Amino acid sequence: MFSSVISAVCLALWISSAVNSAEDEHMTRALQLMSETPLIDGHNDLPWQLRKQFNNELNKVDLNKLETTHTNIPKIKKGRLGAQFWSAYVPCETQYKDAVRQTLEQIDVVHRLCQKYPETFKFATSSEEIMEAFNMNRTASLIGVEGGHSLDSSLGSLRTMYQLGVRYLTVTHSCNTPWADNWLVDTGSEPSEHNGLSPFGKQLIVEMNRLGMLIDLAHVTVAVMNQVLDMSKAPVIFSHSSAYSICPHKRNVPDDVLRRVNETRGIVMVNFYNDYVTCSKTAKLSDVADHFDHIKKVGGAGIVGFGGDYDGVTRLPEGLEDVSKVPNVVAELLRRGWTDEEVKAALGNNLLRVLTETEKVRDGLADQSPDDVPIPYDEVKNPCRTSYGYPVSTGAVHSVSTLALLLTLALITLTRL
Looking at residue 392, what is its pLDDT? 82
Interatomic CA distance for residues 310 and 170, integer angstroms: 17
- Is pLDDT at 412 greater than 60 in this prediction? no
pLDDT band with cut points at 50, 70 and 90 for residue 408: very low
Question: Is 408 exposed, middle or buried (CB count within 10 Å of its CB: 0-12, 13-18, 19+)?
Answer: exposed
- Is pLDDT at 42 greater than 70 in this prediction? yes
Model confidence pLDDT, tens digit, residues 365-407:
999 999 999 999 999 999 999 999 999 863 333 333 434 434 5
End-to-end Cα spacing for the chain: 126
Looking at residue 261, what is its pLDDT? 98
pTM of structure: 0.90
Which of 247, 254, 245, 246 minimizes the C-alpha distance to 220?
Answer: 254
Model confidence pLDDT, tens digit, residues 106-138:
999 999 999 999 999 999 999 999 999 999 999
Q: What is the distance of C-alpha 13 from the center of its chain?
A: 45
Percent of the chain with pLDDT over 70: 89
Angle at 375 between CA 373 and CA 376, to 5 degrees: 110
Instruction: Kindly report the CATH class assigned to 29-365.
Output: alpha beta
pLDDT band with cut points at 50, 70 and 90 for residue 21: low
Contact between 354 and 226 under an 8 Å Cβ cutoff? The reply is: no
Model confidence pLDDT, tens digit, residues 294-322:
999 999 999 999 999 999 999 999 999 99
Which of 99, 228, 194, 157 minimizes the C-alpha distance to 374?
Answer: 157
Question: Residue 311: left if φ>0, alpha if ψ -120 to 50, beta else—which one?
Answer: left
Interatomic CA distance for residues 286 and 317, integer angstroms: 9
Q: Which range, of 12-21, 50-59, 229-238, averages the lowest pLDDT?
A: 12-21
- Which residues are 84's β-sheet partners? 41, 141
Q: Which residues are catalytic?
A: 43, 45, 146, 173, 219, 240, 309
Interatomic CA distance for residues 334 and 27, integer angstroms: 9
Percent of the chain with pLDDT over 90: 88
Q: Which long-range contacts (CB under 8 A, 24 or more apart) does 292-295 make?
A: 292/329, 292/333, 292/346, 293/336, 294/243, 294/245, 294/246, 295/243, 295/253, 295/258, 295/268, 295/270
- Is pLDDT at 71 greater than 70 in this prediction? yes
Contact between 145 and 153 under an 8 Å Cβ cutoff? The reply is: no
Q: Where are the domains of the chain?
A: 29-365
